[in-house]
Chains A and B, each alone.
Chain A
Amino acid sequence: MHFEGMSAMDARHLVLAYASVALFQGGYFAWVVRNWLRLKDDEKKAAKPVE
């Protein structure tokens, strides 16, 4: 691949397409990890006996 600068529409759109893939998949992965960690904490709290 030979980029001729980001002013060319095809180079710009290719980079944007790749960025959108990373954003959607990375964003969803981050959201799932966040929920996993949050639920892990909740599970620990729930395991403690109620006084």
Chain B
Amino acid sequence: MESATSTKRTSLMIGSVWLVLTLVVLTIGFRQALFLSPTDAEQGDVGRIFYWHVPSAMLGLVFPYINFVASLAFLYLRRRNPLAALTADAWAVAAAEVSVVFASICLVTGMLWGRAVWGIWWTWDWRLTSELLLWLLYVAYLMTRRMSTDGQTSTLGAIISVFAALDVPLVYFSIRWFRTQHPSPVFGGGADSGLDPSMYPAFLWNVLAWLMWGGFILAFRVAVERRRQRLDQLEGLRMLESDIDNFKLGGEPERGNAF
């Protein structure tokens, strides 16, 4: 009991320090992006959206793989080691939510940027459409988990997540395979690609800041989900005990949906 309290206290302390560091790095990134990086010669100040749009787009393709790996782990462990499977499931749901947050930011900032630079909010270009599909897949995953009541919610979610992960390479390669409205890749996109050296500090600070934030919010959400799972288990156990007591007294067992 004392060891559990001490672990809780240590986790809380690490989380608090991590959050403070993240806020410091976010502030540096914000200052770099808005005040220190040079204004884009062609786009003007709206080009600064790059510093939020690109890190969010990058992380929106990283977190789905955490969800994918956790879902595969869940499917593998659910009969072999149910307790470890629950931990994998907590990581899967947390990663799916964080993916939706980053993909939403990528889509919204992209539309705001597109309207100012291209003159349109949206076009059915390969990159935009595959990103929207990715967002819809993870929203569907979360809605399925929330609304399914048949007791196989996590298994169903894990199967959807395997299909959702297939869209990630399509999003990444879409601007390499199909040249449509979205600009060509900034990194590794050929001779004309790459950033101006003056943009690197703002870009790298923002990538680091959002990576730290993503890691923090993911770990926090996993902790909340694990707490919810423990409460569900406790409630299930209480119902089972109450059924056994009723049975001993010769009454009818209580019907519940805890399992």
Residues in chain A within 8 A of chain B (CB atoms): 1-3, 9-11, 13-14, 16-18, 20-21, 24-25, 28-29, 32, 35-36, 39-40, 42-43, 46, 50
Point out the residue from A16, A17, A28 that lies within 8 Å of B53, measured CB to CB: A17
Q: Is the CB of B101 within 8 A of A25?
A: yes
Q: Digitize B104-123: 1 where CB-to-A-CB distance is under 8 Å, 0 elsewhere.
A: 11001100110110000000
Extra contacts, 6 of them, besides A9-B115, A20-B105, A21-B109 (Cβ < 8 A), are: A17-B109, A35-B224, A36-B220, A36-B223, A36-B224, A39-B228
Q: How far is the CA of A42 from the CA of B234 in the complex (A)?
A: 11
Contacts of A50 in B (CB 8 A): 238
Does any Cβ of A come within 8 Å of B221's Cβ? yes
CB distance from A21 to the nearest CB of B (A): 5
Does any Cβ of A come within 8 Å of B52's Cβ? yes
Stretch at the interface among B37-45, B138-146, B180-188: B37-45
Contacts of A16 in B (CB 8 A): 112
Q: Is the CB of A13 within 8 A of B112?
A: yes
Q: Is the CB of A21 within 8 A of B52?
A: yes
Q: Is the CB of B220 within 8 A of A14?
A: no
Q: How many A-B Cβ pairs are below 8 Å? A: 82
Residues in chain B within 8 A of chain A (CB atoms): 34-35, 39, 43-46, 48-49, 52-53, 56, 97-98, 101, 104-105, 108-109, 112-113, 115-116, 213, 217, 220-221, 223-224, 227-228, 230-231, 234-235, 238
Which chain B residue has the least Cβ–Cβ distance from A28?
B101
Q: Is the CB of A36 within 8 A of B101?
A: no
Point out the residue from B48, B49, B101, B220 that lies within 8 Å of A1, measured CB to CB: B48
Point out the residue from A10, A24, A43 that lies within 8 Å of B231, measured CB to CB: A43
Main secondary structure of the interface of B (DSSP, over half): helix
Point out the residue from B49, B213, B224 that lies within 8 Å of A17, measured CB to CB: B49
Contacts of B230 in A (CB 8 A): 43
Q: How far is the CA of A1 from the CA of B35 in the complex (A)?
A: 5
Contacts of B113 in A (CB 8 A): 13, 17
Question: Which one of B39, B49, B97 has the highest number of Cβ atoms from chain A below 10 Å of its Cβ?
Answer: B49
Q: How far is the CA of A14 from the CA of B221 in the complex (A)?
A: 29
Q: How far is the CA of A11 from the CA of B53 in the complex (A)?
A: 16
Q: How far is the CA of A40 from the CA of B231 in the complex (A)?
A: 10
Can you name 10 A-B pairs with beta carbons within 8 Å?
A1-B39, A9-B46, A13-B115, A25-B213, A28-B98, A32-B220, A35-B224, A36-B224, A39-B228, A43-B227
Q: Is the CB of A20 within 8 A of B108?
A: yes
Q: How far is the CA of A1 from the CA of B49 in the complex (A)?
A: 13
Q: Is the CB of B217 within 8 A of A32?
A: yes
Question: Which one of A2, A9, A16, A25 has the highest number of Cβ atoms from chain B below 10 Å of its Cβ?
Answer: A25
Which chain A residue has the least Cβ–Cβ distance from B100?
A28
Q: Is the CB of A10 within 8 A of B52?
A: no
Given the known inter-chain contacts A1-B34, A10-B45, A32-B220, please indicate yes or no for A17 contacting B39, CB distance below 8 A. Answer: no
